[in-house]
């Protein structure tokens, strides 16, 4: 602000007398802030979105009584760039729960959307930040297939987000621009149109990246290596919750290939990691992929920074044990960028470090070094938080969508009526969940 003012001032004699005190003030302010202009490291105080170093954003965590903005990690390390060539299921990947349910997505014209939100940026941006799995709820709607955050298997104009093809085209663009990346889509499938999914993925240009069901391991064997998948261009894994689609359309039935813990509230209870009803027990060795859900049933944006910090790391350890010392292949969260520092990104680095090279974080792994031979990395900024690491690849730049410079999460202004309907909706969701479980 100050600098803008200065540069927009013309240095006439009358203004110089005002500029000098301003300059002094500016020097004072700069020396008061320890860092600025992209130099602020993890956990350092910041005052503008541009203050924090690459891969970090300037945010806050009021739920942990932090009232000064600080630099928070917002970008993942892509494990394959550090330890390449392992079977796909050996890596741990970041998944966004309801990836499309973006607080900032415009509602349908003339409609006030009435649903819960789980994320704060677009799927295209999520992919740039290192998200590699997308949970998408697909419905028949408006003679097409839409992404909706709805209930009773029916999409309404108040719960609709966008035609699924728009989001899938963003996935196609990402896979085309990044020829060694692999993306997984997990569909909560309410589509009943015959061959609806087949046509949708073909229209989005994604058929060319499709990993065929016939090549998926059926008896708990490892998946092909990431290098093999890249070589074959089988870089899109798609799973559906509708068991009939595997036979009818060749879309893999999720729980034939994946173990999964309970989503929603049962998945965030300390020291417990029960399996989802549709899934085999987590310690079953009949599937080599394990999806860990870690998000409350009702997403709470303001609480997410706390949830995605120490409790998340603890729950990963709990689920790892429940799975018989198998690391989750996927970890699915709400508001993936929110944390009190390293968040889900640090947790993933630890998971990948542990599995791939026996080190405390993937940043300490060394290519082609024996298991357990780790690099010395510079000391963590604070106990329990790994060193901030710049992504090894130029995986796009962080857009800084999550900014809480004011110190509190963005507020949503609901009318009284909306608040009432939302309360009723949450009640319906709770009841429906308790019926389903």
Residue 376 Cβ, how far from ligand NAG at the closest point, in Å? 4
Residues 23-42 close enough to bind ligand NAG by CB under 6 A: none
Strand pairing category for 236-240 and 252-253: parallel
89 vs 327: CA distance, rounded Å: 9
Please give the size of the binding site for ligand NAG, defined by CB under 6 A.
4
Residue 302 or 369 with smaller CB distance to ligand NAG: 369
Q: Tokens at residue 383, please?
A: 């106990």
Residue 19 or 114 with smaller CB distance to ligand NAG: 114
Residue 113 or 350 with smaller CB distance to ligand NAG: 113
Closest CA to 340 of 119, 43, 97: 43
Asked if 111 touches ligand NAG (CB under 6 A), the answer is yes
181 vs 15: CA distance, rounded Å: 55
Q: Tokens at residue 26, please?
A: 């500016």
Q: How many CB atoms lie within 10 A of CB 332?
A: 28
Residue 62 or 108 with smaller CB distance to ligand NAG: 108
Asked if 8 touches ligand NAG (CB under 6 A), the answer is no
Residue 369 Cβ, how far from ligand NAG at the closest point, in Å? 11
Residue 26 or 157 with smaller CB distance to ligand NAG: 157
Residue 111 Cβ, how far from ligand NAG at the closest point, in Å? 5
Residue 347 Cβ, how far from ligand NAG at the closest point, in Å? 24
Residues 139-158 close enough to bind ligand NAG by CB under 6 A: 157
DSSP per-residue string spanning 235-293: -EEEEES-THHHHHH-PEEHHHHEEEBPPSGGGGSTT--PBPTTSPPTT-SS-SEEEEE
User: Pick from 110, 370, 372, 383: which binds ligand NAG (CB under 6 A)?
Assistant: 110
330 vs 333: CA distance, rounded Å: 10
Q: At what angle do helices 164-177 and 196-203 cross, to 10 degrees?
A: 50
Residue 141 Cβ, how far from ligand NAG at the closest point, in Å? 11
The 3-class secondary structure across 175-228, one letter per residue, is: HHHCCCCCEEEEEEEECCCCCHHHHHHHHCCCHHHECCHHHCCCCCCCCCEHHH
x-or-dash string of contact with ligand NAG, 153-182, rule CB under 6 A: ----x-------------------------
Asked if 376 touches ligand NAG (CB under 6 A), the answer is yes
Residues that bind ligand NAG (CB under 6 A): 110-111, 157, 376
């Amino acid at each position: 602000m100050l600098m803008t003012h200065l540069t927009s001032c013309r240095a006439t004699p009358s203004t110089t007398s005002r500029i000098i005190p301003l300059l002094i003030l500016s020097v004072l302010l700069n020396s008061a802030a320890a860092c600025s202009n992209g130099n602020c490291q993890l956990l350092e105080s910041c005052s503008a979105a541009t203050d924090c170093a690459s891969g970090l954003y300037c945010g806050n965590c009021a739920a942990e009584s932090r009232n000064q903005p600080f630099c928070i990690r917002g970008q993942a390390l892509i494990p394959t760039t550090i330890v390449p060539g392992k079977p796909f299921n050996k890596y741990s990947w970041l998944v966004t729960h309801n990836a499309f349910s973006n607080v900032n997505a415009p509602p349908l014209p003339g409609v006030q959307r009435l649903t819960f939100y789980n994320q704060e940026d677009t799927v295209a941006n999520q992919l740039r930040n290192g998200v590699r799995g997308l949970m998408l709820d697909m419905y028949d709607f408006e003679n097409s297939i839409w992404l909706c955050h709805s209930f009773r298997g029916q999409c309404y104009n108040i719960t609709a987000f966008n035609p699924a093809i728009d989001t899938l085209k963003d996935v196609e663009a990402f896979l085309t621009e990044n020829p060694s990346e692999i993306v997984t889509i997990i569909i909560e499938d309410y589509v009943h149109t015959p061959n609806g999914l087949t046509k949708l993925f073909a229209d989005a240009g994604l058929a060319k990246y499709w990993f065929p069901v016939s090549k998926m391991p059926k008896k708990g064997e490892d998946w092909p290596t990431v290098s093999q998948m890249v070589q074959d261009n089988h870089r899109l894994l798609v799973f559906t919750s509708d068991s009939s689609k595997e036979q009818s359309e060749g879309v893999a039935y999720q729980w034939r290939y994946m173990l999964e813990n309970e989503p929603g509230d049962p998945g965030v209870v300390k020291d417990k990691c029960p399996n989802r009803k549709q899934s085999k027990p987590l310690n079953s060795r009949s599937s080599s992929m394990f999806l860990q859900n870690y998000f409350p049933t009702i997403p709470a944006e303001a609480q997410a920074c706390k949830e995605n910090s120490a409790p998340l790391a603890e729950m990963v350890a709990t689920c790892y044990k429940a799975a018989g010392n198998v690391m989750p292949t996927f970890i699915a969260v709400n508001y993936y960028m929110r944390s009190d520092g390293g968040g889900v990104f640090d947790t993933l680095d630890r998971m990948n470090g542990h599995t791939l090279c026996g080190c405390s974080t993937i940043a300490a792994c060394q290519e082609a070094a024996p298991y357990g031979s780790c690099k010395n990395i510079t000391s963590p900024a604070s106990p329990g938080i790994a060193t901030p690491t710049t992504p090894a690849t130029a995986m796009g730049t962080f857009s800084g969508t999550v900014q809480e410079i004011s110190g509190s999460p963005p507020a949503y202004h609901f009318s009284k009526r909306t608040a009432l309907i939302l309360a009723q909706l949450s009640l319906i969701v709770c009841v429906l969940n308790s019926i389903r479980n």
